[in-house]
Structure 1
């Protein structure tokens, strides 16, 4: 029995970041790539949807119902994009916090485990 690792059938899959560098890399990817690309995709939808709303809007006092429906759907889309970006930022922060907490826990555990034991005196050369 080994106490320093999980059995082969337990634990995270290959996509789980275990090391500090992996966690920081994942947080950096969220910050530098995924969050900005999500915002950019949301803006692209803003431009395209605005064109649709304008095309179906009232020109002579009678607009299409489609215009209002697309406008409402776009509002919901915008809220969903904002929610997704917020969750991505939360995930990034959690990865960074988790790394700090786990590193601190490792150091604290090492310190507590390595405290001087009464048995240490038996192995000293003076006895």
Structure 2
């Protein structure tokens, strides 16, 4: 990198630091923060569809494929296991790896269930927040005589 390029980079960085950040403006049309607007499920219908997809596609698929993998792993562990007092080290390693994997599957299913529930409850949470804020404002207005 040439010296003049380095000087230009430093000057650009100094300009960015001295320019104040404006928070009172609209986000760019493509969205901000690297998140594109079409991917954001913000409507009640989109959230309901996402919760339905988790419940009808993802959770059953994870359980089905997890069960299939469990069967295959158990048969492999048995095949490599001790016969006549001797077995392969692979059997024990597979058994331990499978135990870890089963724990990860359980955590994934728990996370999916949690996300599904949160997607389903979002509208209620927003409504309850709005009602709580309205109640606070009403109390404050009586105290201050507004």
TM-score range, shorter chain: 0.7 to 0.9
- Equivalent residue runs for 1:29-44 within 5 Å: 29-44=53-68
**What is the number of equivalent residue pairs in this alignment?**
110
Q: Does 1:10 align with 2:32?
A: yes
1:27·1:92 contact (CA, 8 Å) conserved in 2?
yes
CA distance in 1, matches of 2:131, 2:40: 22
Given candidates 48, 59, 77, the residue that maps to 1:24 is 48
* Superposition misfits of 4+ residues, deviation over 2 angstroms: 6-13, 102-110
Q: 1:89 to 1:42 in 2, by over 3 A?
A: same
Higher mean displacement: 12-21 or 53-62: 12-21
TM-score, structure 2 normalization: 0.65
Residue segments in structure 1 that go unaligned for 5+ positions in a row: 111-127
**Residue of structure 1 equivalent to 2:104:** 80
Tell me the distance in 2 between the aligned counterparts of 1:79 and 1:68: 17
Instruction: Choose between structure 1 and 2 for higher RCO, CA contacts under 8 A separated by at least 6 residues.
Output: 1
Aligned partners of 1:18, 1:109: CA distance in 2, in Å? 21
**CA offset at residue 97 of structure 1?**
1.5
2:121 to 97, 102, 120: 97
> Could you tell me how far 1:98 is from its partner in structure 2?
1.2
What's the TM-score once normalised by structure 1's chain length?
0.74
Unpaired segments ≥5 residues, structure 2: 1-23, 135-146
The Cα RMSD (Å) is 2.8
Q: Which residue of structure 2 lines up, in the alignment, with residue 56 of structure 1?
A: 80
